[in-house]
Structure 1
Amino acid sequence: MSTSSRSTTRRSLTAAGAAVALALTLAACGSSGDSSSMPGMDHGAKSSASSSPSASQAMGDMRGMDHMAVGNGLSDTKDGYRLTSKDATLPSGKQAAYQFTVAGPDGKPVTDFALDQTKRMHFYAIRSDLTGFQHLHPTMAADGIWSADLASLTPGSWRMFASFTPAGGPGKGKDFVLSRTLIAPGNATKTPLPAPAGSTQVDGYTITVKGESMVGMAHPLTVSVAKDGKPVTDLQPYLNTYAHLTAFHEGDATFAHLHPTTEVTGDHGGPDLNFHAELPTSGNWRLFLQFQTGGTLHTAALTLRVG
């Protein structure tokens, strides 16, 4: 093969590789629910300050559907933004408020946040063994101090995640997930993570997950909802989607937030919800699926093995 032919071949292979990478990126970007069968797994429904958009704003704000979070959520700092809190411990066995602030690169509290799935702040509390889960929408005071009203915590180590998007400054438009750990005092007992399974049940509903997830690659994931053996078709919109899906990695609690691509068309969603799943690390991931029916929010948990 001549030098010119080899050069042409290399250029063709490079272009093809770039096209594949772009396709995977676009697939990931296109990806985008308080009851529980697990102790400590709850969802608070409080809205954040100044986060009650009109119906048109709520349905029009689809930022969270096509943005990937910055980092894996295991640090309290990223790109100059810092999650700070005076709460290193909170009492176990009763409700308690966790207060925190997001400081910007200038060291001042950030008070201007963009809407992400109708909320300016999504807050998650996850126990180190992934058996306790809470998803809240805290309130913010004028000075930038947020307050998340946590349900009862079981003794042990917990990680508090703050998911947000600055509306201004150098981080404008970026989706951040920062976290800090705290201790709930008491006799902590580690609970083994349930084995990977294709289905689980919550509140009489059967949740089935189909699809093969591969490390670092976007793959289709389908979640089906049934009750009494019949497909469910009355899912109600929740945070601009028919389901809210969060995943945490066993061992280090790496954070991942996946969104359904299924179009929202009123109070008759289901039974199938489609996702693009892109999980960065191999091993077991604990998935928390939240969906709403009849004005009640349900939270289902399932372990997914990623090879």
Structure 2
Amino acid sequence: MPDQPRKAEAAPDERPEKNEQLEENERPEKNRQLEENERPEKNEQPEENEQPEKAKAKTKPKWVLDVTAEPEDQDDTPAPKGNEGFRFAAFGALLVVVLFAGYGLGRLNNGTSASPPATPAATGSAAPAAVNENMPHTHGAAGSGLTSTAGAAVGGLSLSSDGLTLHPDATSFRAGTKQRLSFTVDAPGGAPVTSYAIVHDKPLHLIVLRRDLTGFQHLHPAMAADGTWSLDLTLAEPGVYRMIADFTALVGGRQIATTLGADLTVAGDYRPVPLPAADRTVTTDGLTVSYAGTPGTQAVQPLLMTVTGGAVEPYLGAYGHLVVVRQGDLAYVHVHPEQQLVDGKVKFWITAPSPGDYRMFFDFQVAGRVHTAAWTLRVG
């Protein structure tokens, strides 16, 4: 075979320049840096910091309470009972002393406590035909009940209330002449009511007075079988009078306690009389009558009536009756007293309906005769 020609070898100085640079720089720069920095920077931290920070945080301080420690033994032995009988006897003796002290203070106060007596709780049983009104209370438009701190309820301002309507047969009278006054109380259907509860010995109380708060009369008409009430009435002076019927009707098995009013007119020259001065002591039929106490509108207050010159006797189931009428609209409140006298005094509890001027009329009985004392009351 013919000889093949060989490639000519390059002379030493004929090698490319890039190969010479490669020999000089056989170790790349990154490898040189690796040799110089064989230990990474993070490994150069001192050995004392080799423990992680969170591990040090788990170390429990010496002051931390170890709740796993077992509690010390406690003595469950009960306390001795040897002194219990003595303590009980001492407490009983102290209670007796307190009770007797309270009784003595009550007598020193003459029964003029600032709180009205408690009333029995209402029950769900049907109401009887006769109402036992032994506790002090007032009669207003909403019926009987202790006065509240919002002012006493008033009545007599309307012909109709609670479905009942006052229907007088005649309303015109002649001055100084006795005339027959007849009226009915009509039920919602229009028929006269014929059944009433007995309240303080009477089924109906009728108050008559003139618009200037003079000519006061407390009357008790009789009712016929058809429900017509009637009596002979004398109105002394000309003017406009108010008749106020205070009763408890029995309608449909319910008791409806209310107060209705109507005007009566007496023709003539009407000359209104100014209210008398607000004195606390008056004289009537030779008897001196005074009162102590100051009625207000925000709380129930006691009134103590004192009669000098005779012993007060029960009248219509109580030791007295108090009618309070407001000047202007003749709003009416009828108050009954406590059952028993308080050191010879008649004690009422009352709240004034509102600020204003009033006349108070106190009916009481001495030696079998009924008397009426009247005062002007100003409530600020």
- TM interval, shorter chain, is 0.7 to 0.9
CA RMSD of aligned residues (A): 2.3
Secondary structure at the residue paired with 2:181? Answer: strand
TM-score, scaled relative to structure 2 = 0.60
Instruction: Label 1:66 to 1:301 Cα distance change in 2 as closer, same or farther (>3 A).
Output: closer
Structure 2 alignment gaps of length 5 or more: 1-114, 120-128, 143-153
Instruction: Label 1:28 to 1:132 Cα distance change in 2 as closer, same or farther (>3 A).
Output: farther
Q: Which amino acid aligns with 1:190?
A: P
Secondary structure at the residue paired with 1:166? Answer: strand
Q: Which amino acid aligns with 1:259?
A: H
Secondary structure at the residue paired with 1:108? Answer: coil
Where do 1:1-307 residues align within 5 Å?
27=116, 61-62=132-133, 65-66=136-137, 68-69=139-140, 70=142, 71-169=154-252, 172-227=254-309, 232=310, 234-263=311-340, 271-307=344-380
TM-score, scaled relative to structure 1 = 0.74
Equivalent-residue separation in structure 1 for 2:377 and 2:343 (angstroms):
21
Equivalent-residue separation in structure 2 for 1:175 and 1:120 (angstroms):
11
Is the contact made by 2:138 and 2:334 (CA closer than 8 Å) also made in structure 1? no
Q: Which amino acid aligns with 1:163?
A: D
Higher RCO by CA contacts (8 Å cutoff, separation 6 or greater): 1
Deviation of 1:133 after TM superposition, in Å, equals 0.7
Equivalent-residue separation in structure 1 for 2:347 and 2:171 (angstroms):
38
Equivalent-residue separation in structure 2 for 1:137 and 1:81 (angstroms):
19
Q: Which amino acid aligns with 1:136?
A: L
Structure 1 alignment gaps of length 5 or more: 1-25, 31-56
Deviation of 1:216 after TM superposition, in Å, equals 4.9
Secondary structure at the residue paired with 2:206? Answer: strand
How many residues were matched structurally?
Answer: 245
Is the contact made by 1:64 and 1:116 (CA closer than 8 Å) also made in structure 2? no
Deviation of 1:153 after TM superposition, in Å, equals 2.9
Is the contact made by 2:326 and 2:358 (CA closer than 8 Å) also made in structure 1? yes
Equivalent-residue separation in structure 2 for 1:93 and 1:78 (angstroms):
32
Q: Which residue number corresponds to residue 33 of structure 2?
A: none
Pair member with larger Rg: 2
Equivalent-residue separation in structure 2 for 1:29 and 1:181 (angstroms):
37
Deviation of 1:114 after TM superposition, in Å, equals 0.2
Secondary structure at the residue paired with 2:322? Answer: strand
Equivalent-residue separation in structure 1 for 2:134 and 2:369 (angstroms):
25
Q: Which residue number corresponds to residue 40 of structure 1?
A: none
Secondary structure at the residue paired with 2:173? Answer: coil
